[in-house]
Amino acid sequence: ALSAVAGFYRELMPSPVVVTLVPLGNSRSAGLYGTVLRPLRPSAQIFFGGAAESFSLGDDWLATHELFHVGNPFLTSRLPWLIEGFTTYYEEVLRARAGALPTAAAWGELLSGFSRHCQPEDGHSLADDSARMRQSHNYQRVYWGGACLALRVDVAIRRRSQGKRSLDDVMRALRQRGLQEPLDEEDVIAALEDAAGAKGLVRAHLD
């Protein structure tokens, strides 16, 4: 996971990144949950079942997800549709690129998440669900609704550039800009739509 994420962010990845593995309770699960600390102390904590006797972390999504957060762009406010949604997209993409997850399995995970959470639920837009995620606890909708948007933007960028550019380039550019000055939502939307050559694509998806 560290290699995959560092390869993605390249020189923009902070160093060092401290990773702490914490056994928790009597669970036998490999990855329970994780958290990151930024920006002063780039680090990730991965909590796993304290009663687990054996498990393989080679294809586990949790470490890739949490470590990708370390390189997220700095923002003026929380944007879960971007920070969690795009990270959810890349947790699958980067594992497949690294060979930790078969390509077909990665596409299967994406399709499963999109089919359940890409469309509005209960009449609420992704923008609404993102803004009230911590109150509604509708995390899956925001994570996978944002991942669905990430795929749409990625495909649009690749089509426009005939495969010469991708969402990877935009994410690195946003990271670079955020290191100079935190970005707001309109900055992010403009950068994504400019790269995709599709004015209104992001806003329409959010709305």
For 181, the enclosing helix (H) or strand (E) is: none
CB-facing half-sphere around the CA of 36: CA atoms within 13 A? 20
pLDDT tens figures, 181-195: 999 999 999 999 999
Q: Give the integer Cα–Cα distance in Å for 113 and 115.
A: 6
* Cα 70–Cα 76–Cα 77 angle in degrees, nearest 5: 85
Give the model's pLDDT for residue 110.
Answer: 97
Contact 51, 24 (CB under 8 A): no
Share of the chain above pLDDT 70, in %: 97
Q: What is the residue whose two structure tokens read 């990730």? A: 44
- In sequence order, the β-bridge partners of residue 183 are 75
**Residue whose entry in the numeric block shows the structure tokens 């690195």:** 172
Residue partners of 122: CB distance under 8 A and separation at least 6 = none
What's residue 90's pLDDT?
98
pLDDT in tens, 94-116: 999 999 999 999 999 999 999 99
Cα distance between residue 19 and residue 26, in whole Å: 22
Q: Compare 76 and 54 and report the one with higher pLDDT.
A: 76
Q: Residue 126 and residue 205: Cα distance in Å, rounded?
A: 7
Instruction: State whether residue 47 is helix, strand or coil.
Output: strand
pLDDT tens profile 136-158: 999 999 999 999 999 999 999 99
Element (H, E) at 23: strand 18-24
